């Protein structure tokens, strides 16, 4: 795992921990509210990079801090990516034609 990813996960874990404590919520209670196990909750606050992203998102949503990730979900913020993908997209999308064969019922 590269240093940037580890640093990001650690920062998110710290943010979750601070947000939880500011709301006076126990780790065990937040784990229950988020539908995750206590070990996963501890790992999230430590910034463990092997925890599933969905668990991070669930905890952040329960705390009401998932808005910090909103800019990441807007593909227009990645101008290089959008420009590259736009060049690769076809001008028109044409569906495959399906030939219907006549079926005759045998009465």
**Domains in the chain, CATH or no CATH each:** 3-66 (1.10.260.40)
19-74 confidence digits (pLDDT tens) = 999 999 999 999 999 999 999 999 999 999 999 999 999 999 999 998 887 777 77
In the predicted structure, residue 93 carries a pLDDT above the cut 70: yes
Average pLDDT over residues 82-105: 72
* pLDDT, position 88: 79
Alpha helices, DSSP H, located in the chain:
3-22, 27-34, 38-46, 53-63, 70-73, 79-88
More confident residue, 95 or 30: 30
Give CA separation, 82 vs 43, 75, 95, in Å: 34, 7, 24
**Cβ–Cβ under 8 Å, residues 45 and 17:** yes
* pLDDT, position 82: 75
């Amino acid at each position: 795992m590269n240093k940037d990813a580890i640093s990001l996960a650690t920062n998110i874990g710290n943010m979750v921990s601070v947000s939880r404590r500011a709301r006076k919520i126990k780790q065990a209670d937040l784990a229950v509210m988020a539908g995750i196990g206590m070990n996963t909750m501890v790992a999230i606050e430590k910034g463990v990079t092997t925890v599933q992203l969905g668990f991070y998102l669930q905890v952040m949503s329960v705390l009401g801090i998932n808005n910090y990730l909103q800019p990441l979900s807007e593909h227009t913020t990645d101008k290089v990516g959008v420009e590259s993908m736009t060049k690769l997209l076809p001008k028109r999308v044409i569906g495959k034609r399906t030939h219907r064969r006549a079926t005759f019922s045998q009465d």
